[in-house]
Amino acid sequence: MLPIIRKPSLLCSGAFMGNDSNGSPCTVATVIASQALITGVYSITQQAMQLGYLPRLTVTHTSASHIGQIYVPAANWALMVALSVLCWDLALPAGLRRPMAQA
């Protein structure tokens, strides 16, 4: 999943954009990457439940006409917590990471 998360950051770092301040390619890349991540998490969660690796979770089918359009609230919350921790960890200065890792 990390390569999916890193793609927008590489695009927005200026390597592909030069010094242009237009943020629309970054926005598009971020939306595409987040949708791919959410879709992957939901698919893996549903397959793990079918195989018996996860207990039954609430699955809401969001569309009556499209098969596979699902919403899993527990997976959504777990993804939010995991990405919040990741963002918090990346926001820490390098000097704080070492003492917090040793604690």
Element housing 70 (H / E): strand 70-71
Q: Hey, what are 15's tokens?
A: 């390597």
Burial 1-39 (b: 16+ CB within 10 A, else e): eeeeeeebeebbeeeeeeeeeeeeebeebbeebeeeeee
Residue with tokens 């791919």: 36
Q: Does pTM surpass 0.75? A: no
Instruction: Look at residue 26 in the predicted model and tell me its pLDDT.
Output: 73
Q: What are phi and psi of 26, to 5 degrees?
A: -70, -40
pLDDT reported for residue 18: 46
The per-residue pLDDT string of the chain (103 residues; one tens digit each, 9 = 90 and over) reads 555 555 555 555 554 444 455 567 777 888 888 888 888 888 888 899 899 998 988 888 888 888 878 888 998 899 999 988 888 877 767 655 665 555 5
Q: Where are the domains of the chain?
A: 2-102
